[in-house]
Amino acid sequence: MPLSANNPDRRSWLDVPENSDFPIQNIPFGVFLTRDDIITIGTRIGDTAIDLGALHQLGYFQGIELTDDIFLQDSLNDFIADGRKTWRLVRNRISEIFMKDNPVLRDHEEHKTRVLFTMDEIEMQLPVDVGDYTDFYASKEHATNVGSLFRDPENALMPNWLHIPIGYHGRSSSIIPSGTSVRRPVGQTKPGDDGVPGFGPTKLLDFELEMAFITTASNDLGKRIPIDEAEDYIFGLVLFNDWSARDIQAWEYVPLGPFLGKNFASTISPWIVTLDALEPFRVAGPAQDPKPLPYLQQQGKKNFDIKLQAIIKPEGKQETVVCNSNFKYMYWSMAQQLAHHTVNGCNVRSGDMMGSGTISGPTKDSYGSMLELSWRGQNPVPLADGSSRKFIQDGDTVILRGYSQNDKIRIGFGDCSGKVLPARKL
């Protein structure tokens, strides 16, 4: 099916500010509350939110096989379960409705009143009901940095790392949409000289700059997804901040992995940008040596060029970009992650979320966490207001941003932001 919505020369009759993340070539999907407190599925062009539930009721999706209430839901799970062909038909149709020369909605004032909202009239929600959330560890630079800091710089990568897209299960209940505050977590830390573990608010609160992809229902339990079909099961991506409490994590994580050091909150950007919209930004990934086992061998350009930033904004102060990274640095691709995740027969459902792990690049300003940027606190990171940070302080807002750009279009994700509140009283 042609991806006509990707036509880079198309323009919308809706206003799209310069450098907007949301030109008519993006057409992401999200869930929002409208001014009338109705929850609906929508998309966004420029700074206009579009109510797809209302559009569907008004007949604009005629000819596409959709249930009547597919967009009148509090999550995208059912729509995502409809599969890639339906996503493409709907995205192409939305693009047609809003392209410059199409007068049908453009000139229908009453319909526009029902369908269009300014961004301050709506409140973004979680876009999916996440069944299972898995976090990978797929950036070689990040794994090397962490291995150097916590284990042995000479043998920073574990022996399995170059053979397996290492991943583990995370907590889905505490995934929250951008704009939700995060309370500094409390927990146990390594014992001091008296042998008694510490207890209190984390002193080493960190962000992790990640992306996450959202899957459609796919394999039955016991079957696997072959790597050359894996991308058919990926609906789209969001920015993902995997908040981490390094002192809690360090004390708890052997031998079963991170738990309370991670599961207090994970923030996502609320608009899911489809894999289709990112198609023009495919690039080759890093060379893989040794060659992966056959079930992980992928043809073609397996990575995506998405510029990524992490920003710290102290309360009442200006922003500082502390990290410039790129999704293309991922050693293991999304398709490799999904093929690996299901090779044992593990089933994947519509709305499942798979994080990339921290995305660090080769240079020091591209490291995707404070742990790496400050090298475990040895090199405080200077901020624009004159202060500096080893880790994240109360009142700080951490913002992730990401976009792909070529000479014609820019496809972005909007903000993935969360402000840190002080720990609750003990």
Residues that bind a second copy (CB under 8 A): 131-132, 137, 158-160, 163-164, 166-174, 176, 183, 185-188, 191, 195-197, 199, 221-224, 245, 248, 251-260, 263-265, 290, 293, 295, 340-341, 343-349, 352, 421, 424
Q: Which one of 56, 108, 142, 341 is the catalytic residue?
A: 142
Residue 137 known to bind ligand: yes
> Of the two residues 196 and 287, which places its CB atom closer to a second copy in the complex?
196
Residue 229 known to bind ligand: no
One-letter amino acid at 89 equals L
Shortest reach from residue 346's CB to a second copy, in Å: 5
Answer yes or no: 142 catalytic: yes
Residue 329 known to bind ligand: no
CB 371 within 8 A of CB 246: yes
> Of the two residues 52 and 76, which places its CB atom closer to a second copy in the complex?
76
Element (H, E) at 167: strand 167-170
Shortest reach from residue 337's CB to a second copy, in Å: 11
Distance, CA of 123 to CA of 37 (rounded, Å) = 9
CB 117 within 8 A of CB 49: yes
The three-state secondary structure class of 95 is helix
CB atoms within 10 A of CB 8: 11
Shortest reach from residue 102's CB to a second copy, in Å: 41
Residue 210 known to bind ligand: yes
Shortest reach from residue 361's CB to a second copy, in Å: 21
Distance, CA of 158 to CA of 99 (rounded, Å) = 51
CA dihedral (333, 339, 342, 347) in degrees, to 10, reads 80
Residue 21 known to bind ligand: no
Listed in order, strand segments (DSSP E) in 247-380 are 266-268, 273-274, 282-283, 303-304, 307-313, 320-326, 353-355
- Positions marked catalytic: 142
Residues of each annotated binding site for substrate: 137, 151, 249, 253, 358
Annotated binding site: 135, 137, 151, 208, 210, 242, 249, 253, 262, 266, 358
